[in-house]
C-alpha cells in the first residue's frame, strides 16, 4: 500500500480538472492576445475563468491577476505595495512562507524600507497586541504581511481582526492564503484585505498557475515587463489551460466545501487520537484546536530516536509519503525556520502529515501503524 500524506506540498489533479483542461491543450490553442477567432475564443475563456474565480470569493473580475503560482503572487504584492503605493515599512513574522519572508527581506533592503517582525505567542499564533503596538508607532506608510494558514504547523490567523487593526491604523494588508484558498470561504467585500494569493496545485488543480487578488482601488506598475496582459502588471502570454484548470478546481472545491471540511477535519482528529493512543511521549507543534488550526495539516513531534534523520526515508520506503516541513526547503540543510520561530524543541524529529479530500481513514490508520512500527524498530535496534 502507498499512502500520500503530503498534500500541503501539492495535491493530485482532480479528474474533472484534467478533463476541463484537455480541449485547451489540443484544439483551443489560440493566443489570447490575437484578434482572430482563435485568439478571441482563448481570451473569452480566460475572462470566463476570471469571472468564475472572482464570484467564488466575492471580488470583481478586474481584481484577479493570473500568475505562475503563489510565490510570484506574493512577490507581485510586495512590488506593487512598495513601488506603487509608497510603503516605507513592512511588518511580518518569522514563520511566514519563504515566498514572503525572503521577498520582504530582499525588497526592504533594496528599497531602504523598514523591516519589522511581530512577536509570536508560545502556541505559534501572532501576538495581536504587539501587532497593534507596532502599527501605532510612527507615521510611515505600512504593509502588514501575515499568512492565513501556516503551511507547517497549521495555525490560522484571524483575518477579519487583523484587517480591522490595519484599517484602524491606515496600513495595507497582504495575506498569503495559498494553503487556505479553496479550503475556506473568502468574502473580499467583508474581509477588506488589499492582497491575497492562491495557487491551483494546493486544491487539486495544475501546477504553475495561481492568482493575486488586488483591491480595485490599487493601481500598479508592471511587475513583469512586456505586453499589457493582466491589467498591465504581468506581461507575457497567459497560461490558458492552466487558468482553465485553476478555475475548475476552485469551482469543484466550493461546490461541496462543508462536506470536504468535515471529512478532512475528521481525518485529522482521528490521526491525532490514534497517534496519542499508539505512541508514547508524542506532542504536536502549533495549535491543534479545530477552530484555530488548518484542518489539512498536523505537525507531529516524535519521541527521540537514534536514527531520527532517516525517519522520513523509512516512512517513504514503507509506503507513506509525508514531510518534515515545507517542500520548498526540502533541499536545504537548515532546519525548519517555522519551528525555530515558535521556539519548538527541534532536537526531536518532526513529521508533517497533510490531507486532502481524497485521503481515507484506512490510509491514516496505515500511516500511524507504519510510524509506530518504525519507531519501535529504531528503539530496539
User: Under a CB-based contact definition with an 8 Å cutoff, are residues 60 and 112 in contact?
Assistant: no
Q: Determine which one of 108, 301, 322, 328 is catalytic.
A: 328
Helix (H) or strand (E) holding 131: helix 128-136
- Which residues does 286 contact at the CB level (< 8 Å), separation at least 6? 123, 124, 150, 152, 153, 154, 155, 293, 299, 342
How many Cα atoms sit within 13 Å of 202 on the Cβ side? 25
Helices 70-79 + 98-111 axis angle, to 10? 30
Q: How far is CA 302 from CA 97, 203, 329, 344, in A?
A: 23, 28, 20, 12
How far, in Å, CA of 148 to CA of 156, rounded?
Answer: 6
* Phi, psi of 183, deg, nearest 5: -110, -15
Whether residue 328 lies in the annotated active site: yes
User: Under a CB-based contact definition with an 8 Å cutoff, are residues 292 and 155 in contact?
Assistant: yes
Residues marked as catalytic: 328
Amino acid at each position: 500500500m502507498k499512502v500520500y500524506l503530503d498534500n500541503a506540498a501539492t495535491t493530485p489533479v482532480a479528474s474533472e480538472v484534467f478533463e476541463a483542461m484537455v480541449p485547451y491543450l489540443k484544439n483551443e490553442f489560440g493566443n489570447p492576445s490575437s484578434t482572430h477567432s482563435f485568439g478571441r475564443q482563448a481570451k473569452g475563456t480566460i475572462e470566463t475563468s476570471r469571472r468564475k474565480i472572482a464570484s467564488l470569493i466575492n471580488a470583481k473580475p478586474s481584481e484577479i491577476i493570473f500568475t505562475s503560482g503563489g510565490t510570484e503572487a506574493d512577490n507581485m504584492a510586495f512590488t506593487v505595495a512598495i513601488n506603487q503605493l509608497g510603503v516605507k515599512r513592512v511588518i511580518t513574522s518569522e514563520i511566514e512562507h519563504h515566498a514572503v519572508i525572503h521577498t520582504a527581506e530582499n525588497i526592504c533592503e533594496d528599497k531602504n524600507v523598514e523591516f519589522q517582525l511581530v512577536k509570536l505567542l508560545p502556541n505559534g499564533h501572532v501576538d495581536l497586541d504587539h501587532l497593534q503596538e507596532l502599527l501605532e508607532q510612527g507615521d510611515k506608510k505600512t504593509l502588514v504581511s501575515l499568512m492565513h494558514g501556516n503551511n507547517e504547523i497549521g495555525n490560522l490567523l484571524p483575518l477579519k481582526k487583523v484587517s480591522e487593526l490595519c484599517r484602524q491604523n491606515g496600513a495595507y494588508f497582504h495575506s498569503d492564503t495559498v494553503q487556505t484558498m479553496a479550503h475556506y470561504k473568502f468574502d473580499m467585500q467583508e474581509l477588506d484585505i488589499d492582497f491575497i494569493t492562491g495557487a491551483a496545485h494546493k486544491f487539486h488543480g495544475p501546477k504553475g498557475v495561481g492568482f493575486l487578488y488586488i483591491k480595485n482601488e490599487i493601481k500598479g506598475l508592471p511587475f513583469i515587463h512586456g505586453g499589457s496582459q493582466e491589467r498591465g502588471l504581468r506581461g507575457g502570454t497567459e497560461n490558458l489551460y492552466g487558468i482553465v484548470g485553476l478555475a475548475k478546481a476552485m469551482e469543484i472545491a466550493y461546490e461541496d466545501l462543508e462536506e470536504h471540511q468535515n471529512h478532512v477535519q475528521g481525518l485529522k482528529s482521528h490521526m491525532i487520537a490514534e497517534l496519542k493512543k499508539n505512541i508514547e511521549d508524542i506532542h504536536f507543534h502549533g495549535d491543534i484546536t479545530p477552530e484555530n488550526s488548518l484542518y489539512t495539516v498536523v505537525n507531529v513531534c516524535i519521541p527521540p530516536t537514534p536514527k531520527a534523520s532517516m525517519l522520513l526515508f523509512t516512512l517513504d520506503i514503507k509506503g507513506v509519503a509525508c514531510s518534515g516541513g515545507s517542500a520548498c526547503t526540502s533541499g536545504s540543510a537548515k532546519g525548519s525556520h517555522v519551528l525555530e520561530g515558535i521556539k519548538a524543541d527541534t532536537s526531536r524529529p518532526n513529521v508533517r502529515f497533510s490531507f486532502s479530500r481524497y485521503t481515507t481513514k484506512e490510509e491514516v490508520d496505515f500511516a500511524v501503524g507504519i510510524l509506530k512500527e518504525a519507531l519501535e524498530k529504531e528503539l530496539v535496534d
